[in-house]
Amino acid sequence: MALHPTAFYFGGVAFNSRNSVAFRRGNVGASGFSSPPLVSIPLSSLQCKAFSGDGLNETKDSSLVVCFGEMLIDFVPTTNGLSLAEAPAFKKAPGGAPANVAVGIARLGGTSAFIGKVGEDEFGYMLANILEENNVNNEGIRFDPGARTALAFVTLKNDGEREFMFYRNPSADMLLQEDELDFNLIRKVCKIFHYGSISLITEPCKSAHIAAAKAAKDAGVLLSYDPNLRLPLWSSADSAREGILSIWELADIIKISEEEISFLTKGEDPYDDAVVRKLFHPNLKMLLVTEGADGCRYYTKEFNGRVRGLKVDAVDTTGAGDAFVAGILSQLAEDLSLLKNEHRLRDALAFANACGALTVTERGAIPALPTREVVQNAILNIGSKTVENFEINSLKQKSNHTFALKTMADEAQDQAERERIFKHFDLNGDGKISAAELGDCLKTLGSVTPDDIKRMMAEIDTDGDGFISYEEFTEFATANRGLMKDVAKIF
């Protein structure tokens, strides 16, 4: 397959020279990768006051998330369970973890930008155009006339899990230089700066990555890090571990998988909270552990817990973690105070889990990323973003995401009732309720003796401070389902 770096016209994109590209709005079809229409946000609306300093600036006007790193073409087999050699055909799909996150945020109605490098070839121009189609600010994208856009061939197992074969030796994304960075985008209009570890593998991109991250840190921007381990791209396991950890303490938020925990801790148990806490550096604000279909775990200095995921039939897990990251960052970009309120954070993570789950129901990363409407049709809101139940029929009508939700309707309804009851008592919105007030409510039912109520409250309030956390309440409510049904009728 020959890729020629000559000037040409490609679906609404006019190429003026070897090193520049001008975009024109149009109805462009890029091999089926176009997304549903979104609100177009003028770049001028992203301008805001610049900040400097070490601390996070929670009052920054912009909600822009800038994603730094690689963008490439994934070739995904049309049939699962076969080797690359046996696959009868492949579907080309735009991808690359940071680019996936940028598009994911835009699909959800947020504002995002991408900084990275692609080849001055047909695939590179197609990728730049896809960013524009999805309302991602692409001012930070650069084109390399001497290197090709990266390619990855993906092997899909029957359960949708993947193996990768990369073609990047070197690819354009590895050649981004510090003097090509758009520092104004990072310092002046960025609220969250998100990146991975692949851009740390080789120079000159490694130096560009570090310079961009430090510029964001100095400007008071929140730094989000998803290592996204791809071991075959590193020279050795030790170099991968060293490279990933080399910028660990710059990050304010880190998302990792169970496999990455085992890798970074050299084989320790990823389900042990004490092991996970070893990765929690002193300045970290939140550590997220994705657990696939089971949901995620969250760790902050003040609290930790688990949020269940949606059960779906996985077709291709490519991009699931990126969709999860897009889901949580899109909400943090609007309100960083989520990090300080466990109850609201759990709501946000339930939304992020749904984003990840929906993405695995189609092939490819960017083509499968859901819109906010699709996610909200999968989880019915109570209040703001609280999971109530799963509207299967409505979801199938309004989306081409066809999936089978295995979570039973009564389980979802129980969760909805627990959320509603807890919110009723959580008047301060601090994620805790009064044990005495809950006990008084149970007394009004007349079906529980005062002694039993006293015993129950003592069992729930494990630390004896008179308050009950959401996790403690959930455990109690699950064990006393019938009682909670009666309480739910009161409100």
pLDDT digits (tens, 9 = 90+) for 5-62: 323 222 333 333 333 333 333 333 333 333 333 222 233 333 332 333 345 555 455 7
101, 326 contact by CB (below 8 A): yes
- As a whole number, mean pLDDT of residues 441-461 equals 84
Q: Would you state the pLDDT for residue 159?
A: 62
Find out whether 327 and 356 touch, Cβ atoms under 8 Å: yes
Predicted local confidence at residue 491, as pLDDT: 66
How, if at all, do strands 64-68 and 111-119 pair? parallel
- Position 161 scores a pLDDT of 63
* Strands 253-257, 222-225: pairing kind: parallel
Q: What is the DSSP letter of 369?
A: P
Note the pLDDT of residue 188. Answer: 87
d(CA 104, CA 256): 18
Q: What is the pLDDT of residue 160?
A: 55
350 vs 49: CA distance, rounded Å: 32
Residues 285-324: tens digit of each pLDDT: 999 999 998 999 999 999 999 999 888 888 888 889 999 9
The three-class DSSP label of residue 265 is coil
pLDDT value of residue 23: 34
Answer yes or no: is pLDDT of 184 > 60: yes
Domains and CATH numbers, the chain: 64-391 (3.40.1190.20), 403-489 (1.10.238.10)
Q: State the pLDDT at residue 9.
A: 27
pLDDT tens readout for residues 65-113: 999 999 999 888 888 788 888 888 888 889 999 999 999 999 999 999 9
Mean pLDDT, the chain, integer: 80
Interatomic CA distance for residues 309 and 58, integer angstroms: 29
pTM comes to 0.67
Residue 22: predicted pLDDT: 34
Average pLDDT over residues 412-432: 78
- Residue of higher predicted confidence among 377 and 283: 283
Q: Per-residue pLDDT for 407 more than 80?
A: no
Q: Give the model's pLDDT for residue 291.
A: 94
Question: Which of 45-59, 255-269, 402-416, 428-442 shows the lowest mean pLDDT across its residues?
Answer: 45-59
Q: In this predicted structure, what is the pLDDT of residue 60?
A: 55
Residue 154 confidence (pLDDT) above 90: no
Give the pLDDT confidence of 330-370 residue by residue, as tens digits: 999 999 999 999 999 999 999 999 999 999 988 888 888 99
Pair 253, 227: CB distance under 8 Å: no
pLDDT the model gives residue 250? 97
How far, CA to CA in Å, does 202 sit from each of 71, 235, 244? 16, 10, 13
Report the chain's C-alpha Rg in angstroms.
24
Percentage above 70 pLDDT, the chain: 79
- What is residue 44's predicted lDDT score, i.e. its pLDDT? 30
C-alpha to C-alpha distance for 387 and 409, rounded to whole angstroms = 12
